[in-house]
Amino acid sequence: MPERGIFYLCAMVKEDVLALVDQGLMLPLMEEFYTIQGEGFHKGTAAYFIRVGGCDVGCHWCDVKESWNAETHPPTGIDHIVTNAAKYSDTIVITGGEPLTWDMGPLTDALKAKNLKTHIETSGAYPLSGTWDWICLSPKKNKLPEGIIYEKAHELKMIVYNKHDFIFAEEQAAKTNKDCILYLQPEWSVRDKVVPWIVEYVMQNPKWKVSLQTHKYLNIP
């Protein structure tokens, strides 16, 4: 029966796609855009962003909750992602969602093969995979980072939503390497309240720097 044949074909294709996602050869792609890095050390620098779907960390203030369900984002071959990204910039920021949900090895190998710089925005909730020129670690209380990412992170970007977040920020900073650059970034919805706290804290504790989501002030992606 032809219907039966099509059913088996679809089932096989879906399994194959899941296997490729499992190997990091395909990734659920939510969006990609050329913009200015708005946050942290590289703020103000043009970069191509690749937003990979899938995150189960569950930050209640997350500004990209549409990314969470990986099934709503089409599995996309990494060759396609890389060929496109290379047209725009020599610096590629991989974000999400939580990119370390997936094996970042194949994607970053393919980006490096084209001499592109690889940057990641991650909560560190899952083991570090991939080869990175820049790691921005932004730990979350719900699902703490584990392992070598504290040694590898170039910047630590702690989000401040309430006063306890300063204590959490210090706990996380104590786990990082000595060269890691430390940032406090206001949670966007409460920025008017927390910015004065952050300013005062940074003046009292100058090992920290302020990071703002400057792209939101510039009205760019």
Ligand X SMILES: Nc1nc2[nH]cc(C(=O)O)c2c(=O)[nH]1
Ligand Y SMILES: C[S@@+](CC[C@H](N)C(=O)[O-])C[C@H]1O[C@@H](n2cnc3c(N)ncnc32)[C@H](O)[C@@H]1O
Give me the residues that bind ligand SF4 (CB under 6 A), please.
55, 57-59, 62, 64, 67, 96-98, 123, 140
- Binding segment for ligand X among 37-45, 52-60, 141-149, 166-174 (CB under 6 A)? 37-45
The CB density around residue 126, as the number of other CB atoms within 10 Å, is: 22
The CB density around residue 49, as the number of other CB atoms within 10 Å, is: 24
Question: In a 3-state reduction of DSSP, which class is residue 206?
Answer: coil
In this structure, the chain runs to a length of: 221
* Total interface residues for ligand Y by CB under 6 A: 18
Question: In a 3-state reduction of DSSP, which class is residue 49?
Answer: strand
Q: How far is the CB of 57 from ligand Y (least distance, A)?
A: 6
Nearest-CA neighbor of 130 among 96, 151, 101, 170? 101
Q: How far is CA 138 from CA 18, 90, 123, 144, 196, in A?
A: 28, 24, 5, 10, 21
67 touching ligand X, by CB under 6 A: no
- The reply, when asked if residue 53 is annotated as ligand binding, is no
According to DSSP, the β-strands at 155-160 and 46-52 are: unpaired
Q: How far is the CB of 67 from ligand Y (least distance, A)?
A: 7
123 touching ligand Y, by CB under 6 A: yes
Q: How far is the CB of 163 from ligand SF4 (least distance, A)?
A: 20
96 touching ligand Y, by CB under 6 A: yes
Among 98, 103, 121, 187, binds ligand X (CB under 6 A): 121
- Residue (42 or 140) nearer to ligand SF4, CB: 140
* Interacting positions 126-185 with ligand X (CB under 6 A): none
- Torsion over CA: 88, 90, 94, 95 (sign): negative
Q: How far apart are CA 110 and CA 78, in angstroms?
A: 8
Q: What is the DSSP letter of 207?
A: T
Residues that bind ligand Y (CB under 6 A): 55, 61-64, 95-96, 98, 121-123, 138, 157, 159, 185, 187-188, 213
Residues that bind ligand X (CB under 6 A): 35-39, 95, 121, 215, 221
